[in-house]
Amino acid sequence: PQIVVSVYGPDFFGNDVVRGYGAVHVPFIPGRHTRTIAMFVPESTSKLQKLTSWFTGRRPEFTDPKVVAQGEGRE
């Protein structure tokens, strides 16, 4: 099993924007465990989208949170 985390925070204008996504596997063994979650932020795919997100202050977000739990496309 995995836990998927989406972190949001305020930007300069006070809007909630995505700060990062991460996923970590949950241990099967009962007890106390410490896990570190590697976080990442998706990037715009084109220069026009980068320019638009810079003007509007909105970063790209995933529409489906299941994408974070998959390993495809992270090379």
Q: CA of 43: how far to CAs of 58, 62, 64, 74, in Å?
A: 12, 10, 16, 12
Q: Tokens standing for 10?
A: 């305020």
Residue pLDDT, tens place only, 10-64: 877 787 888 888 899 999 999 999 999 988 888 778 888 888 877 776 777 777 7
Q: What angle do CA 20, 5, 11 make, to 5 degrees?
A: 35
* pTM reported for the whole predicted model: 0.70
